[in-house]
Amino acid sequence: MDIDFSSFVLAAATADLSDEPHARDHADAVEFRLDMASDPLDALAAYDGDLPLIATNRPTWEGGEAADGEDRLDALRTAAAHDAVAAIDVELAALEDGDATDVVDYARDRGTAVVVSTHDFAETPHRDTMRELLAEASRWGDVAKLAVTAEGAGDVLDLLGATWDATTAGETVATMAMGEAGRHSRAVAPLYGSRIGYAPVDPADATAPGQYDLATLSGLVDRLRSERPKAGESEA
């Protein structure tokens, strides 16, 4: 299975692949959180759903539940070999340290896309810093993902500005501001070029602060995109 990141992709975020049938009406893909799942590789091997998967095995040092080490990266490598896995998510810090480069090389050899991500659970960095993070992640991956924590509207504006700058520079990015102050960014960021949105099927199963449920985010994005031109398009 493939995912076309040239247009917006709405991913149902879950640790339970049995959610996939309930996601089909609204989602384009499923983000499978291996780090939060029970027996994730067995679940992946048994998967026969319709939606392509983005496999994520987030370490504790970046907000996930996976212990860092070779086992975490080996699981991502195994996931990358599954026909239903269209992309894997790898942390920028793990690539800069050199730990995850072999996994990315393996994924590329398999034709599996790579999302390179950074999460800041404390703040929203300066706009220039966010721009640099997106540029660096773009050099490693097919999609550069940046999730920050907003304390107010100004933080969201900075994130949207960095998103627009990266998009108009030809980079494929996915951005969002976590927390209540940044919640609306999940609906608005696609207008500025963000290519992936994440939402749980059930709001009780949110995998990040401030997520809308899948049906709500799908409706918001569809409505906003129908009313506004996409990033890079003329309003004329």
Which residue ranges form the domains of the chain, and what is each CATH number?
9-227 (3.20.20.70)
Does 58 appear as a known binding residue? yes
Task: Give the span between the Cα atoms of 176 and 84, in whole angstroms.
Answer: 26
Q: Which residues contact 223 (CB under 8 A, 6 or more apart)?
A: none
Residue 42 burial (10 A CB sphere; 0-12, 13-18, 19+): exposed
Does 123 appear as a known binding residue? no
User: Is the pLDDT at 146 greater than 90, yes or no?
Assistant: yes
Check residue 228 and give its pLDDT. Answer: 62
Does 186 appear as a known binding residue? yes
pLDDT mean across residues, the chain: 93
List pLDDT tens digits, range 152-187. 999 999 999 999 999 999 999 999 999 999 999 999
Say what the pTM is: 0.92
Catalytic amino acids? 119, 145
Does 139 appear as a known binding residue? no
In which band, very low, low, confident or very high, does the pLDDT at 203 lie, cut at 50, 70 and 90? confident
